[in-house]
Amino acid sequence: MVAEEKEKEQMVEADPVDAPENHKILQSPGAMSNLSGTTALTNQSSQKMADLDTGMIVEHLPDLSREAFQLLELLAPSNSSTIDINTVVKELQVPGSGRGKRLRLREKTFDSTKENYTTDLFINPVLILQKIFNEDEPESGIFRPDLALYSANTATLVKELLVAQRDNPSTMELLQNLDDEFPSPFISGFQSEPQFGSSALLQATVDLALELRTQTTIAMLKAYRDETNYDPDQLLAQIFYEPPEQRDESLSLYEDSLANGQFRRIASIDVKAFALSEKGSQDELSADIRQRVELIREAFRLEDEAIEEGDYVDFDQLNDHFSWTLFLGNVVQWSQLRMEEINKSIEKQGGM
C-alpha cells in the first residue's frame, strides 16, 4: 500500500550487531527506540485514508482526547485496585447494569468521533499525521496532535479487554493481534523525556507485554487442545521463540528452540539486540522470559500423567498462576500511567 510504503520510508532502520534480517530496531533521531510500524491492528488502505476528511480530523481532535479520558475514567477510575476492576468487569456483564448503560452511551459518542480517523479498531497515528500535514515525515513541534490519537487507542484497549470473555474465540484473536502489535498503537517510541507520542514507561511496557504474551499463550493452548497431534510444547515454542535458523531434527521443536533459538520480539523490542536501560541488560529480560516459559510449562502433563487422552495441560494451574483478573488489573494500571503521561505531555504542548 502507498500509505504503508510512505510510513516505512520515514523510519530509519538500524541493524543491531549480528541480528538476523527480521530482527531490526526502527530508530529516529533523539529516540531511545522507535516502535515497528503498522500491521494487522492498525492497517489502513490508501483508499481509506483518501476517504478521510482532513478538516474533520482536525476539528474533532479535542473531542477525541476528551472522550478518551472520560471513557477510561468510567471503566478504570483513578487509583483503581484489582478488586475494583473485578467489580467493574462483573458489573459490565450484568444486562441492564448502570455502568453498562453508561458505557454504551460513552462508547456511542466515542465511536462516532473515532469514525473521523479510522474504521479499524485502532487509529494509525502515523498515517493520520501524514493525512493532516500532507507530508511523509511531519516536522516536530508543539502543533503535533499525536497525543490525542494515542489517548484514543489507549482508551480503546481498556474498553475492548474489560468487556472481553476470556474463552471467547474473538478474545484469542484480539490477544494474538495485540501481542503482535503492542505497544505501537499506544506509543511511538521510548524517550526519557516523552514528547509527541513517545513514552518513558519502558519497563512497565515490557512487563505488560510479557503478561499479554502469557495470556495469548493460555488462550491458544485452550483453543487447540482438541486438535489432532496437539503438542503444548510446540505451541509454547512457536509463541515465545523465533524458529532456529537451522532446525536440529534430533530435537523436538521446543528443545531446539530452547537450545538454538531466539526469543521473539517483545514490546516491539528485539530481546537480543536491545539493552533495557531501566533494568540493566537484555540478559535480565531474557531471564524473565525464560522463567515465564518454565512457569507455563510446569502446567503441562506428560503422556502418563494425562487424566484422559489429549489432556496435556492443567488449565486450573495456569489460571491460578496467571489469572485473567490480575491481567486486566495490569492493563488498567499501565493504561492509567500512560494516560497520565499523555495528559502531562498535552499540558506541556500548551493544551489541546
- Residue 270's pLDDT band, with cuts at 50, 70 and 90, is low
Cell triple for 149? 490519537
Out of 13-27, 79-93, 224-238, the most confident range is 224-238
Q: Cell 512457536 identifies what position?
A: 238
What confidence tens digit (pLDDT) does each residue in 145-184 have? 999 999 999 999 999 999 998 889 999 999 999 999 999 9
Average pLDDT in the 8-32 region?
32
Question: Is the per-residue pLDDT at 275 higher than 60?
Answer: no
pTM for this model (two decimals)? 0.83
What is the reported pLDDT for 282?
Answer: 66
Rounded Cα gap, residues 332 and 328, in angstroms = 6
Rounded Cα gap, residues 294 and 217, in angstroms = 13
Cis peptide, bond prior to residue 183, ω within 30 of zero = yes
Rounded Cα gap, residues 177 and 172, in angstroms = 9
- In the chain, the N- to C-terminal Cα span, in Å, equals 32
Beta strands in the chain, from DSSP E residues, in sequence order: 12-14, 25-27, 33-34, 189-190, 241-242, 262-263
What confidence tens digit (pLDDT) does each residue in 295-328 have? 999 999 865 554 555 578 999 999 999 999 999 9
Domain ranges within the chain, ordered by starting residue: 2-209+332-348, 220-324
What is the reported pLDDT for 37?
Answer: 44
- Residue 10's pLDDT band, with cuts at 50, 70 and 90, is very low
Cell triple for 236? 509454547
- Residue 266's pLDDT band, with cuts at 50, 70 and 90, is confident
pLDDT > 90 fraction of the chain, expressed in percent and rounded: 54
What is the reported pLDDT for 211?
Answer: 97
What is the reported pLDDT for 161?
Answer: 96
What is the reported pLDDT for 252?
Answer: 86
Share the mean pLDDT of the chain. 83
Amino acid at residue number 165: Q
Question: Is the per-residue pLDDT at 4 higher than 90?
Answer: no
What is the reported pLDDT for 35?
Answer: 60
What is the reported pLDDT for 328?
Answer: 94
What are the phi and psi torsion angles at 122 (to 5°)? Answer: -120, 145
Question: Is the per-residue pLDDT at 24 higher than 80?
Answer: no
What confidence tens digit (pLDDT) does each residue in 183-223 have? 999 999 988 899 899 999 999 999 999 999 999 999 999 99
127: CB partners within 8 A, 6+ apart: 3, 7, 38, 44, 49
What is the reported pLDDT for 28?
Answer: 29
- Residue 68's pLDDT band, with cuts at 50, 70 and 90, is very high
Contact 32, 191 (CB under 8 A): yes
3-state secondary structure at position 339: helix
Give the strand order in the sheet containing 33-34: 12-14, 25-27, 33-34, 189-190
Q: Crossing angle for the helix pair 82-92 and 324-348, nearest 10 degrees?
A: 100
Half-sphere exposure of 30 (CA within 13 A, CB side): 8
What is the reported pLDDT for 103?
Answer: 94
Average pLDDT in the 133-144 region?
90
What confidence tens digit (pLDDT) does each residue in 32-67 have? 345 654 444 555 566 777 889 999 999 999 999 999
Question: Is the per-residue pLDDT at 3 higher than 50?
Answer: no
